[in-house]
Amino acid sequence: LEAIANFALRDSVGRASEDQLDTRLLETPSVAISACDDQTSKMAELSKKAVLDSIALMGEYNEKSAEQILEDEDTIDRYEDRLGTFLVKLSSKSLSESDTRTVSKMLHAIGDFERLGDHAVNISQVAKELHTKKLWFSEHGDREINVLFRAVKEILDLTIKAYVEKDLKLAELVEPLEQVIDEMIHDIKQNHIERLQHGVCSIEMGFILSDLLTNCERVSDHCSNIAVNLLETSRSSFRAHNYLSEIRHGNIAFDSAFDRYKAKYTLS
């Protein structure tokens, strides 16, 4: 028998746990897939936690929480490394069409979860810069950012819950919210330019805001990737581009959800 690949990871609330991906499981694909699914779900929850913790730092910075985000990001990287290696080996086995789609879903998802961890670190660094330099956004800018944060928190909640619970109905809500977040970010940038012209905001704060908005947009984009991946792998073939085209052109459910989120997350 091959050696057991042991690796220490953290569970969804950050407590140390010992998990095993036994290479012998590769001989029983259905069991191996179940083990990978469990680990991928833990990775998903930790990625969400890291981003939410980084957003919390924007309101009240503390070094201990910032260090924890770095530790979580390191754990997320190890998840991706171990899971990626194991899933590639698993994909070389003789799998059913359904199992092949499931393995493909996980391989795509772990890359997005890893990037969520990276963006969590980036947002925490924005919070640290503001704290260190004793800078803050204008009253209007701060209000807009808090509305954006609420939307980002919701898209994270929707995405991770949809992925872990394999809830396609929830997954369908991610893309319309992602589109609303894109519009919000565009509007926040435009509003900042107007405030800059009126001397309310500084150029330095503009760079910091741009960095923050870019990371929020990327978080939203990765949530979209995860949800689309989940929806597409539930079909008989993987056609993400086709799926996005379908829902963005004359889809009543998409339009209804978009309008609902647009009203919920108004900046004014």
Q: Over 64-76, what HEC string results?
A: HHHHHHHHHHHHH
Domain end position, chosen among 113, 134, 155: 134
Burial of 221 (0-12, 13-18, 19+ CB in 10 A): middle
CATH number at residue 103: 1.20.58.220
Whether 212 and 148 map to the same domain: the answer is yes
Which helix (H) or strand (E) segment is 5 a member of? strand 4-10
What pLDDT digit, counting tens, does each position of 2-30 carry? 333 344 444 443 333 335 688 889 999 99
Q: pLDDT grade, residue 241 (50/70/90)? A: low
Residue-wise pLDDT tens digits, 167-219: 999 999 999 999 999 999 999 999 999 998 888 888 899 999 999 999 999 99
Q: What is the pLDDT of residues 124-165, one digit of tens each?
A: 999 999 999 999 999 999 999 999 999 999 999 999 999 999
Picking from 134, 166, 186, the residue at the C-terminal end of a domain is 134
Is the separation of the CB atoms in 234 and 117 below 8 Å? Answer: no
pTM above 0.85, yes or no: yes
CATH number for position 196: 1.20.58
**pLDDT at residue 22 in the model:** 82
33/44 same-domain check? yes
